[in-house]
Each structure stands twice: as structure tokens, then as C-alpha cells.
Amino acid sequence: MNEGSAILAPMTGWILLALFSVLWIGLGIYWGRRNKTFEDHALAGRTVGLALGSATAAATWITSNTTMLAPQFALQLGIWGMLAYATASFGLFLFAPMAGRIRKLMPNGYTSGDFFRLRYGKGAWSIFLLFTLFYSLTWLVSMAMAGGILLNALSGIPYVWGMSVILAVCVIYTMRGGLAAVIGTDFIQTLIIIVGIVIVGFAVLSNVTIDEIHTNLAAERPALLSVLFPAAIMAIFNNLLFGLGEVFHNNVWWSRAFAYREGVGGKAFFIGGLIWFPIPVAAGFIALVSGVLNVPVPAADMVGPLVVVSVLGEIGAIAIFIIVFCSLASSIDSLLAATSDLVTEDIYRRMIAPAATPTRLKKVAQIITLGLGLFTWAVCIPRIGTLASVLFFAGPLVGAMIWPIITGLYWRSANRAGAVGGMLLGAGVGLVCYFAIGWYVASLIATAVSMVWVLACAWLSRSRFDWDELRESP
């Protein structure tokens, strides 16, 4: 999309970009002043309260996908599409009890890698690191790329400039402020996104009634209202499993479980899920208005912004720009921080420099954040159009890790053979199905195969894990 077809003047886009960039970087530097050690930098001192904890759980899960893809889901899969998307919140709900248990079992833990190393040994740890780094880097690159593409589509800012600015801003405030900056900005970003969605939603409804939308859909696209829409019902399972796998394994979520004040983790993730749950419907229904208003939709993923602009004009375009910018920043900063902590703790500290001081580790984490930013930037420059399929490719890897994590946290009988075999077999069979059948079954089959192997190994096992082994000294 070029300047001519953008919904906002490039100058307005640049002004908004500059204002929010200054705000996030300023706050990052301010909140980073108290960070002295790696624990301060990576886990915000392990004292995050309920308000910030709940907001960051929701904000990190609100990616640009949530605000841009939800309308696309509604446009293509109808009412079930919006409801299917909302099931991604189940990952947060189900992680809530796990977060409390993680904090209790591993009071000195730093990363999800620590759990695999202590619970299942080096073999499982290595496989986990390989899988999770592949997934996290793919997600990070896809978010940065989405940033450039969306800012270009919304305001005509050239792709490379938009991608570079949003990435640079997130790298600078994450480097300076660590998790505290990420969590603090997440709170503000959550409020901006939710309030923005509510204002835009009611503004659209002041122009069109639900009865008009329903009548138009019944006449023009009745499948979108169908209770039995097979493709949409399949999407429920896919979203649900992908969400579970992502939240259960990724250090983005584990680092928060370690960072929350004692007793806060479970409540924060549950409230985060409650905050996130209505967003796909609140943001998605706007797409259903396109038929009533005769809004031409050249690309399905732009339906939300196009409808909002047709109803609210430039104010709507500004609102969408801010919502999308906040959605992107809240995910990119979390991925940068969590991946940098994973590399610092699991690779640098555990494999290269076990005697490194807390101050040195903090420095290394900052350098790794910068390195991740530069790597992401370099990969994003060519603007590969097929990255979404790479992210789907990671689905079986993510699905194969669900059962080793759940059983490893709750069952003493869960063991190394189960975890290693579950991850390798699940991912292997899932990837074969990815190529032989399609992406939409890959995660499901990987999860099922991994589950059977992990449960069988636990059932046949005579060993019983001692939970105290997870209580590693800091």
C-alpha cells in the first residue's frame, strides 16, 4: 500500500510515532533507574503487584494480530470467528494456577529454561531451548515486520522506516528499563487499547444498528451467521491449542510468573484473561459493518481500519494508528525482554560464565537485547511475505511442549524419557502432518502424540521427582 491509499497523512503518522516513541523511551529510562542487578532488570525485583501484573498479562497477549486479525476473522468466519479468537484467552486462564505453582516451586527461578534443566536434565533442556528460540525469534521477526507493514498501510510511512522506528524504540526502552519498563508501559498501553476499542466500537454503533448488520448479513453473507460453520468451528480448536502451547512454554509468561509478588501470579493471569476475553468480539464486529456501509475491502486484513475511517474519518484513523502502535509495542518489548533473559540465563550464565556477577549479567542482558534487535532488523529488511507460514510451522513445536510442562509441574512420576520423547515425537509427527495434510491439524496432532508418550512414560515410571530439586540457590 502506498501513500495514496493510506488512511492517514504520513506527517500525522510521523508526529504520532514521534510522540509515543518519546513517551515510551522516557518512561523506560525513568523506570530503569532502580535496576542494579540482573534480578532487577529481568524480573523487576520479583515484586510486581496485581494491577501492573494483570495489565501486562493482557497487553502482551494483545498483539497487532488481536486488533487487526479479529476483524478479518469476523469477515471470513463470522460470529464463530470472533468467538473462536476469544478462546485464545484460555491460555491465560489455565496458566493462572500454574503461575502460582511455578513461583512456589521455583522461588529463585529466572526462566522456563531453568525449569526444563532442573526438572528433566540437559537433554530435554537443549531441545526446549532449540524449540523455544526458534518460535520466539520467528514471533519477534513477524511482529516487527507487521509493524512496518501496518504503519505503511495506515499512514504511508515507508515500510523500512516504520519497522526500524518501532523496533528501535522497543529495543531502547527494554534495554534501559528491563522488565519494569516493559510492564509499566504495558499498563498504559492496555488502557489506551481498551479505551480506544470501546470508543471506536460505540462510535460505529451510533451510525449502524445491530439489526441492520444482522439483516445485511442474512441477505448477503448468511454463512457468517451460521451456527454450524465447519471452518469456523475448526478454528476454535486451532486457536485454543496454539494459545495454550504458547502461554505454557514461552519465557514471556514464565518471566512474569517469577516477577510477580508472592500470591499475585494466579490472580494476575486470571484477571489478564478476563481483560483479554472480550477484545476479539469488541474489535472484530466492526468488520461485519462493512456490508451495511458498502465499504470496499481490497484486503481482508485492512477491513477494521477501513470501516472505522469510513465512519469516523481522520479521528478514527488516528485512533486505529494509536491502538495498533500500542498493540505492537506491548508484544515486541515483552518478546525482546523474555528472549534476552532466556539467552542470558540459559546460555550465557549456565553454559559460558557460571561465575558472572549480577551486575555483569544485567549488562550482558542489555547487550543481548540490542543484538536481538539488530538481528530482527536485518531479517525484516527484505520484507519476506511468507513469514506467517513459518509461525504456523512452529505450531507443532509449541504443541509438543504442552504435556512435558503440565506433567512436570504437577506429577512426580513425569520423567526425562517422557519429556524428551514427547517433544521429539510430537514435533516430528506434527511436522510430517503439517506437510502431508495442512497447518490446521499440525498442532493438534503434535499435542496428541506428545500427550500419549508423556502419559505412558509417567504411568510406567517408578521414579518420583523431588520438588526440592527445583529450588536452586540464586
Site of interaction with another protein (CB under 8 A): 44-45, 47-52, 54-55, 58, 79, 82-83, 180, 183, 187, 190-191, 194-195, 197-198, 201-202, 205, 210-211, 213-215, 218, 222, 225-228, 261, 271, 274-275, 277-279, 281-282, 285
Reduced to 3 states (helix: H, G, I; strand: E, B; else coil), residue 203 is helix
* Contact residues for 62 (Cβ-Cβ < 8 A; gap 6+): 190, 193, 276, 279, 327, 330, 331
Write down the least CB distance from residue 327 to another protein, Å: 14
By beta-carbon proximity to another protein, the closer residue of 168 and 205 is 205
Single out the residue of 159, 226, 179, 472 nearest to residue 341, CA to CA.
Answer: 179
By beta-carbon proximity to another protein, the closer residue of 85 and 348 is 85
Write down the least CB distance from residue 80 to another protein, Å: 8
Q: Cα dihedral sign for 203, 295, 223, 64?
A: negative
Dig out the grid coordinates for 46 from the structure: 520479583
By beta-carbon proximity to another protein, the closer residue of 61 and 248 is 61
* Contact residues for 112 (Cβ-Cβ < 8 A; gap 6+): 128, 132, 249, 250, 251, 253, 254, 342, 405
Backbone torsions φ then ψ of 48, nearest 5 degrees: -70, 130
- What span, in angstroms and rounded, lies between the C-alpha atoms of 473 and 435? 44
DSSP assignments along 9-53, one per residue: -HHHHHHHHHHHHHHHHHHHHHHHTT--SHHHHHHGGG-B-HHHH
Write down the least CB distance from residue 192 to another protein, Å: 10
By beta-carbon proximity to another protein, the closer residue of 6 and 48 is 48
By beta-carbon proximity to another protein, the closer residue of 53 and 408 is 53
Write down the least CB distance from residue 47 to another protein, Å: 5
452: left (phi over 0), alpha (psi -120 to 50) or beta: alpha
Write down the least CB distance from residue 45 to another protein, Å: 7
Write down the least CB distance from residue 135 to another protein, Å: 28
By beta-carbon proximity to another protein, the closer residue of 151 and 338 is 338
Dig out the grid coordinates for 473 from the structure: 540457590
Write down the least CB distance from residue 275 to another protein, Å: 4
Report, in angstroms and rounded to the nearest whole number, the Rg of the chain calculated over CA atoms.
Answer: 22
By beta-carbon proximity to another protein, the closer residue of 167 and 259 is 259
Dig out the grid coordinates for 458 from the structure: 509417567
Write down the least CB distance from residue 343 to another protein, Å: 24
Write down the least CB distance from residue 287 to another protein, Å: 12
Dig out the grid coordinates for 29 from the structure: 529510562
Write down the least CB distance from residue 203 to another protein, Å: 11
By beta-carbon proximity to another protein, the closer residue of 228 and 352 is 228
User: Among the residues of 228-343, which ranges form H helices?
Assistant: 230-249, 251-259, 265-276, 279-284, 290-293, 303-342
Reduced to 3 states (helix: H, G, I; strand: E, B; else coil), residue 2 is coil
By beta-carbon proximity to another protein, the closer residue of 11 and 191 is 191
Contact 286, 201 (CB under 8 A): yes
By beta-carbon proximity to another protein, the closer residue of 5 and 215 is 215
DSSP assignments along 400-438, one per residue: TTHHHHHHHHH-TT--HHHHHHHHHHHHHHHHHHHHHT-
